Amino acid sequence: MTTVLQIERRFRRIAAQAKEQVRALQEACPHPEVAHWRGYHSSGTPTNPRRICLQCKLEERGSWWSNEIGWRCEEGDTKLGGAPFLRPLDDAEDFYALRLPQDIDP
C-alpha cells in the first residue's frame, strides 16, 4: 500500500526534476517576448517593478528606479532588459498570473 510519505517523496523528486528542466530551458531561451509590470508605490512600502519572459517564465525584479527604458535589475546583470518586445501589464495580478507554480519555479 502506498503511503502519504511515499507520495510526498515522489512529488518532491518530480518537482526537483521539473525545476532542473525549467532552469535549463531558461538558460537556453532567447527571451523573445517579455511582460513588464511597473510596480507600485504609495505612501507605504513600494513594490519594485518586475519582468517575466512569456516563453520560459524567467523573472527579474527591477530596482525602484527601473522603467521600461532604463531597466536596472536588482539581482545584477539583466537577462530580460534588452528584450525586443515588452508587453506592459496594468496590475500585479496580471503579472502574478503569468508566473510558474511555486513548486517548479527554480
Q: Contact positions toward Zn ion, by CB under 5 A?
A: 29, 31, 53, 55-56, 58
Q: What angle do CA 30, 60, 81 make, to 5 degrees?
A: 55
Residue whose CB is less far from Zn ion, 4 or 28: 28
Cα distance between residue 82 and residue 41, in whole Å: 25
Residue whose CB is less far from Zn ion, 35 or 56: 56
**Would residue 53 be called left, alpha or beta, if left means φ above 0 and alpha means ψ between -120 and 50 degrees?**
beta
Judge contact between 57 and 98, C-beta under 8 A.
yes
Residue whose CB is less far from Zn ion, 48 or 58: 58
Residue whose CB is less far from Zn ion, 9 or 62: 62
- The least CB distance from residue 81 to Zn ion, in Å, is 13
- The least CB distance from residue 86 to Zn ion, in Å, is 13
- The least CB distance from residue 94 to Zn ion, in Å, is 18
- The least CB distance from residue 106 to Zn ion, in Å, is 13
**Would residue 31 be called left, alpha or beta, if left means φ above 0 and alpha means ψ between -120 and 50 degrees?**
left
